[in-house]
């Protein structure tokens, strides 16, 4: 396994980092290692946090052997981190309309395409859930078609409504709760993304958006 870097994030965590980037093949390895460690965890293991090109492993240093880093090196260099992963495919209904998506017209204008084209492009792909972060349940989905690539707003909106589907860079995401946000709001879904301690998505899931006229 080349170009893997392992570093301590804190006394209680180690990060395994592949080559930085947003790539399904690298994320596949992240999720493989995640699955491998979850299935056969070591004493003191607490949790894994998958991200785009990193897996961060939290543990209790009191219960865990001081050689944990070495063990990880061995695991990564000896295991083939390939093979199928059973991610779910989840279809998400979205209303793309200016009444619920304040930035829909602005985004289309900035991108130099029509609203219909924007919707067609956004619903044209199956996206990959690279990670959840920013707030409980917020999925980072990639990768957007190049034609939808917009830098995030220079001044974030003070309030983005819960359920807002938004885009920024080559990413798209959904806001679980009302919050400030710097992404362009292009649609809204009725799905509840974080409820009673449960997130709707998991890292590794696949997401397809489809257009609906109302909830």
Partner 1 sequence: MSLSIIKTGVYCSVQDQGRWGHQRFGVPVSGCMDKHAASVANILCGNAHDLAVVEFVMHGACIRFETDQLIAFSGGGAIPVSGHRELLLHRAIFVPGNTVIDLRYKDKGCRLYMAVAGGINTPLVMGSRSTYEPASAGKRLAIGDELPIGQRADISQRMIGKKVPKEVTIAKWGAVELLEEMNTDCIRVLRGAEWEQFSEPSKKKWLSACFQITQASDRMGYTLSGETLGLADRQDMVSTAVSSGTVQVVPGGSPLLLMADAQTTGGYPRIAQVIDTDISTCAQKRPGDKIRFREVSDAVSQELYFSRIEELKRLEKTIRVKFSI
Site for partner 1 in 124-143 (CB under 8 A): 131-138, 140
Q: Is 52 in the site for partner 1 (CB under 8 A)?
A: yes
CB neighbourhood size of 47 (10 A): 12
Residues 2-41 that bind partner 1 (CB under 8 A): 7-13, 15, 17, 20-22
Beta bridge partners of 16: 6, 55
Site for partner 1 (CB under 8 A): which residue of 2, 25, 39, 62? Answer: 62
Residue 16's Cβ-count burial label (10 Å; 0-12, 13-18, 19+) is buried
Q: Which of 54, 164, 172, 189 binds partner 1 (CB under 8 A)?
A: 54
Residue count, binding to partner 1 (CB under 8 A):
43
The pair of structure tokens assigned to 174 is: 């959904």
Q: 199 is written with which tokens? A: 């997130």
CA angle 165, 203, 84 (to 5 degrees): 125
Looking at beta carbons only, is 50 or 119 nearer to partner 1? 50
Using the minimum distance from each CB to partner 1, give the nearer residue, 95 or 157. Answer: 157
- Select from 90, 106, 121, 199 the one that contacts partner 1 (CB under 8 A): 199
Alpha-carbon span 156 to 142, nearest angstrom: 21
Q: Which of 165, 129, 131, 134 is nearest to 148 (CA)?
A: 165
Residue numbers at the binding site for partner 1 (CB under 8 A): 7-13, 15, 17, 20-22, 46-54, 56, 58, 61-62, 131-138, 140, 177, 179, 194, 196-199, 202-203
């Amino acid at each position: 396994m080349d170009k893997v870097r392992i570093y301590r994030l804190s006394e209680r965590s180690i990060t395994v980092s592949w080559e930085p980037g947003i790539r399904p093949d690298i994320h596949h390895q992240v999720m493989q290692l995640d699955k491998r460690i979850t299935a056969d965890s070591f004493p003191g293991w607490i949790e894994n946090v998958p991200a785009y090109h990193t897996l961060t492993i939290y543990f209790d240093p009191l219960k865990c052997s001081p050689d944990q880093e070495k063990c990880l090196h061995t695991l990564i260099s000896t295991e083939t981190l390939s093979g199928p992963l059973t991610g779910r495919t989840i279809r998400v209904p979205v209303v793309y309309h200016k009444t619920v998506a304040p930035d829909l017209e602005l985004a289309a204008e900035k991108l130099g395409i029509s609203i219909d084209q924007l919707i067609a492009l956004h619903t044209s792909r199956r996206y990959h859930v690279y990670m959840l972060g920013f707030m409980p349940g917020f999925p980072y989905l990639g990768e957007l078609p190049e034609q939808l690539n917009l830098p995030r707003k220079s001044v974030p909106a003070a309030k983005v409504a819960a359920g807002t589907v938004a885009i920024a860079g080559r990413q798209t995401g959904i806001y679980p709760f009302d919050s400030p946000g710097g992404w362009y709001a292009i649609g809204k879904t009725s799905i509840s993304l974080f409820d009673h301690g449960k997130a709707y998505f998991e890292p590794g899931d696949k997401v397809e958006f489809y257009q609906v006229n109302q909830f």
